[in-house]
Structure 1
């Protein structure tokens, strides 16, 4: 299985998912950089993502929605804070309304992604940091941990295809 560990640290207000892939760092980087590839794995299989905006630069924004089995759309946004190709990116992450404007009820999380070579494989460490224990609990109740694991579980098949697919 792709995901090798999941660590919830309530004191640090963080959730860290570590996964390993049979691909080099530059190839794994492309699944973040290319919105069409990102759409194929971001979100659990039953809630696929569509990225309407993906400005992959520090200060850039992404806007997306995930479509549920019944057609419901859950919208989100990212604000990229750090892009250091090909091994480190960070972004603020939040929910959005139907027009794509940020909503505050669930706050903002901060995601840090690090890619590192492990032999001929790549280890991806994705850490989400929360504003409060309450926010962390709400996100857990919404299935964030399971959703991330399911989403990341889709990456292997994507990486098995040619890089420009």
Structure 2
């Protein structure tokens, strides 16, 4: 966790976040001023951000949008007040409509980003200044403290080379809280093809099979919001187990970057929310699946089935059968 402290001060009307990173100041500066990198961490898990082009000049303005798995949107904008590359910059951060107009009932805040060298790398001090105590309380009540902590926790993957961060580490499972799990896997192939492999039946049938000895007996795929998908599997030959399947509905699609679906085992009422995100760098794609469970008991029960091992077997097959076959 890079965040070392988040404090609020009702006297000075500030909220201050401090974070430490094992990377040079210039590298951390780049992460906060390059929109393609900001998009990977500025929003907390489940609310990824989309930034417009950033013009690092005083008076310039950039708008961003964060979108929840169910499609709710929160938009904001930065107006640059000062820039001292790579040591600091200052912005007015405002809640805005999709058209960029100030949002009634929500405060605009002055924010400073200071980057300091440390023996281990760099320290970020991010201070937000509020006009009054009500504005400070409103933002804290909206979950700004925990949201900021979770957002900054995603920076490790951004600051490292993607292959250095994830290659050879298999399918990784992180318990974010009692109901949220993040699963990551680097696959050696372009994002466009990895997206197709997740959504085209002919490709899905080649790799999404879990452990050896199983076959996919049904595959109904869609990328249309509101439509349903359905996948079923059964053991082959002497393989142990009973046939099963999953089904659900498509809630959000931003091809080839993001797809959000519900998921439930066929014949069962319990439902999860699966948020798939794909990020490509240097010919490899980081697959991230954020899963929201209804409760801790359901989370633990599903993880105990060996789900991660089955996913790893499938990802290995994806690289071997689909991605390798597609290379010239």
Give the TM-score taking structure 2 as reference length: 0.48
Q: Residues 89-130 of structure 1: CA distance to partner in whole angstroms, max 9, x if unpaired?
A: 100001111212122411211111100111131000001111
Tell me, in whole angstroms, the C-alpha distance in 1 between the residues paired with 2:23 and 2:17. Answer: 18
Q: Shift in Å at residue 84 of structure 1? A: 0.5
1:2-151, aligned counterparts within 5 Å? 2-151=2-151
Number of matched residues? 163
Tell me, in whole angstroms, the C-alpha distance in 2 between the residues paired with 1:54 and 1:63. Answer: 9
For structure 1, the 5+ residue unaligned runs are none
Tell me, in whole angstroms, the C-alpha distance in 1 between the residues paired with 2:37 and 2:90. Answer: 18
1:66–1:73 Cα contact (<8 Å) kept = yes
Q: Which deviates more, 52-61 or 40-49?
A: 52-61
Q: Shift in Å at residue 61 of structure 1? A: 0.5
Q: Residues 16-38 of structure 1: CA distance to partner in whole angstroms, max 9, x if unpaired?
A: 01000010000000011211001
Q: Shift in Å at residue 55 of structure 1? A: 2.0
Q: Shift in Å at residue 57 of structure 1? A: 1.6
1:53–1:61 Cα contact (<8 Å) kept = no
1:51–1:64 Cα contact (<8 Å) kept = yes
Give the TM-score taking structure 1 as reference length: 0.94
Pair member with larger Rg:
2
Q: Shift in Å at residue 39 of structure 1? A: 0.7
Tell me, in whole angstroms, the C-alpha distance in 2 between the residues paired with 1:43 and 1:57. Answer: 24
Tell me, in whole angstroms, the C-alpha distance in 1 between the residues paired with 2:19 and 2:85. Answer: 19
Q: Shift in Å at residue 73 of structure 1? A: 1.2
Tell me, in whole angstroms, the C-alpha distance in 1 between the residues paired with 2:99 and 2:31. Answer: 26
| Cα RMSD, aligned residues only | 1.2
2:21–2:120 Cα contact (<8 Å) kept = no
Greater RCO (Cα-Cα under 8 Å, separation 6 or more): 1
Structure 2 SS opposite 1:135: helix
Tell me, in whole angstroms, the C-alpha distance in 1 between the residues paired with 2:81 and 2:158. Answer: 26
Tell me, in whole angstroms, the C-alpha distance in 2 between the residues paired with 1:130 and 1:7. Answer: 14
For structure 2, the 5+ residue unaligned runs are 163-280, 282-328
1:42–1:49 Cα contact (<8 Å) kept = yes
